[in-house]
Amino acid sequence: MTNLRLRSEAIDPRHGSTQHGARRRPMRMAGLAAAFSVFALYLAWHASNDRETSPADELPLSIAQAQGASEVATARASGANAASAAAVSSAANASAPMDADTADLVKRGEYLARAGDCIACHTADKSRPFAGGLPIGTPFGTLYTPNITPDPDTGIGRWTDADFVRAMQQGIGKGGEHLYPAFPYAEYTRVTERDVLAIRAYLNTLTPIRYTPPRNELSFPFNQRWLMFFWNLFNFHEGRFVPDPKQSPQWNRGAYLVEGLAHCEECHTPRNFMQGLKSSDRFSGEVQAGWHAFNITPDKAGGIGNWSDDDVAHYLATGVVPGRANAAGPMGDVVENSTQYLTSDDLRSMAVYLRSVPPIAGGQTRARDQWGRPADDVLRLRGTRVTGVDGAQLFVGNCASCHNWTGQGVGGAAPLAYPSLIHNSAVGVADAGNLAMVILYGVNRRTKDVHVMMPGFGDELNDDQIAAIANYVTQHFGDPKATMTAADVAKLRTRQP
């Protein structure tokens, strides 16, 4: 901006001779050309030194581990050999007795790792927890999550405290490489260093697992990490969370969790063409891997404005709010792996914060949990020969034994009740995608109290039949404008691994 201002003044007759400006213009252009050349060389160096061979490079969340805080100074003073030896020693002594302070730090780190839902992304095989390998689809290709166990060769056993903090708060890996934002460092940057180091202390106690996840499958130029420099310019703002003195401690705690470790925006906020978050539409909903992460702003039509703080907290703890919603898909995993383990105070704080953000209707004019009426089609079907694909017949034959042929469910508000399809968010939303995904793949959500399971029908029913059931359910129990075609169902089949 300064150069442009000086140039305009140089050619303005009110500020002196235009000849003087003309003499300086070539010098400026030469300077800009030189600066650009240096920058291009810098980018070329990054491209030539950017390697995909080390699984730890991808390892953002995973950057937890290595030596203890007291070992870092020794490692730095002793050089690379000492650092490697300390890492191996750390892994070997993971089960050694801890003093009270260390035990408390590890316990806190485990809690915070739960809040961050680290295990969900870094576990592809439940027999290898935290060993990575989970495929994450993006518009630019597939990323595979890294091994974040303390294994020194395939995991993060050689990361230091400084490596871990830099990755979490700046999105920079151990070797100075940019991490891809599938790892939500754009949210984790708000987490305090104290909490980051607690997570690292916990991850350092995990059993080392020797496993190398698959390499990323990104097409050129998206496999060039240096391009993240430009992505960060527009989509990443480094900085720790700063409490708002005008708000209550409860509100600030909720904001810290929602905007930081819980990284709720990653699923519930729409994205721009660069796949960065649209800050103007925070929490207004987005489609992820075929599942619609709903609008969670306090708008009464489009969001959760009719929910109470207790409703939100209970949903996060159990995955269920009778008469409103039942968690499935990725949200069911969040409840199972993360939010059910948080304290009631933290859950309520998250609810208080979420119900304070700016409301966004998103085109909705009626709350998604306020649709539906009991059905009586079973009477019509008695004694009738049905030909072709009939949604009512398919519903009665496949769904009514649990959800009742009226759609009112069985068991009311009991923990193991079969939920009503009336006043159900997945049915009343304008997009029937989540409903179809549930029919295709079912629900398998295990909490501390109950194991909720609904079988998927994707292997028993074809696309026409799945679409017919979905349309019958939305027309009778939800938003009748929400419709599915067989082609829509076919696309959804490709979204689930």
Count of the separate structural domains present in the chain: 4
Task: Assess whether 114 and 213 both reside in one domain.
Answer: yes
Q: Is 357 exposed, middle or buried (0-12, 13-18, 19+ CB in 10 A)?
A: middle
Q: Are residues 218 and 313 in the same domain?
A: no
Note the pLDDT of residue 266: 94
Position 386 scores a pLDDT of: 75
Res 74 pLDDT > 80: no
User: Which two structure tokens, joined as six digits, stand for 203?
Assistant: 């991850």
| pLDDT attached to residue 381 | 82
pLDDT of the residue at 268: 96
Residue 385: the pLDDT is: 77
pLDDT at 58 over 80: no
Asked if the structure places residue 364 within a domain, the reply is: no
- Give mean pLDDT, residues 44-71: 36
Per-residue model confidence (pLDDT) at position 336: 96
* pLDDT at position 38 over 60: no
Model pLDDT for residues 328-358, shown as the tens digit of each residue: 999 999 999 999 999 999 999 999 999 999 9
Same-domain pairing of 98 and 136: yes
**Is residue 322 situated within a structural domain?**
yes
> How many angstroms separate the Cα of 477 from the Cα of each of 57, 91, 122, 433, 481?
48, 55, 38, 15, 12
User: What's the whole-number mean pLDDT along residues 486-490?
Assistant: 96
b vs e for 16-49, b when ≥16 Cβ sit within 10 Å of the residue's Cβ? eeeeebeeeeeeeeeeeeeeeeeeeeeeeebeee
- Report the chain's mean pLDDT, rounded to a whole number: 82
369 lies in some domain: no
pLDDT surpassing 70 at residue 79: no
Q: Examine residue 363 and state whether it is found in any structural domain, yes or no.
A: no
Q: Are residues 67 and 183 in the same domain?
A: yes
* Predicted local distance difference test score (pLDDT) of residue 15: 41
For residue 230, is it within any domain? no
Same domain, 60 and 32: no
Give per-residue pLDDT as tens, 276-299. Answer: 899 899 999 999 888 999 999 999
pLDDT score at 274: 85
Q: Which whole number is the average pLDDT over 399-415?
A: 91
How far apart, in Å, are the Cα atoms of 61 and each of 64, 124, 213, 365, 429?
Answer: 7, 15, 15, 39, 33
pLDDT surpassing 90 at residue 249: yes
Residues 480 and 387 in one domain: yes
Find how far residue 245's CA is from the centre of its chain.
Answer: 29
**Residue corresponding to tokens 């009112």:** 408
Highest mean pLDDT among 162-176, 307-321, 376-390: 307-321
Domain check: are 383 and 346 in the same one? no
Q: Which residue has the higher pLDDT, 116 or 19?
A: 116
The two tokens of residue 239 are 């900085």
More confident: 158 or 22: 158
* 228 is a domain residue: no
Spatial CA neighbour of 281 closest among 165, 363, 367: 363
Q: Is 448 part of a structural domain of the chain?
A: yes
- pLDDT recorded at residue 244: 97
% of residues, the chain, pLDDT over 90: 63
pLDDT at position 496: 66
Identify the domain containing residue 423 by its residue range. Answer: 377-493
Note the pLDDT of residue 345. Answer: 98
18 and 59 co-located in one domain: no
Say if residue 294 is exposed, middle or buried (CB neighbours under 10 Å; 0-12, 13-18, 19+). buried
Of 327-336, 371-380, 446-455, the poorest mean pLDDT is in: 371-380
Looking at the fold, whether 283 and 425 belong to one and the same domain comes out as no
Residues 268, 338 within the same domain: yes
Mean pLDDT, to the nearest integer, of 33-56? Answer: 43
pLDDT at 64: 30
| Tokens standing for residue 360 | 């966004």
Q: Residue 479 has what pLDDT? A: 93
Question: Tokens in use for 101?
Answer: 């302070």
Residue 387 confidence (pLDDT): 77
Whether residue 246 has pLDDT greater than 70 = yes
Q: Is the dihedral of CA 167, 169, 171, 172 positive or negative?
A: negative
What pLDDT is attached to residue 140?
Answer: 83
Is residue 326 domain-shared with residue 427, that is, in the same domain? Answer: no
183 in the same domain as 110: yes
Mean pLDDT of 33-55: 43
- Per the CB < 8 A criterion, the answer to whether 300 and 364 are in contact is no
Measured CA angle at 347 (ends 268, 112), to 5 deg: 85
pLDDT at residue 432 tops 70: yes
Average pLDDT value for residue range 22-46: 46
Lowest mean pLDDT among 50-59, 60-69, 472-481: 60-69
Q: How confident is the model at residue 88 (pLDDT cuts 50, 70, 90)?
A: very low
The tens digit of pLDDT for each residue in 127-136 reads 999 999 999 8
| 372 within some domain | no
Tell me the mean pLDDT in the region 15-39.
45
- Using one digit for the tens of pLDDT, what is the confidence trace for 169-226? 999 988 888 998 889 999 999 999 999 999 999 999 999 999 999 998 888 888 788 8
Of 320, 354, 388, the position where a domain reaches its end is: 354
Select from 477, 491, 445, 225 the least CA-distant residue to 373.
477
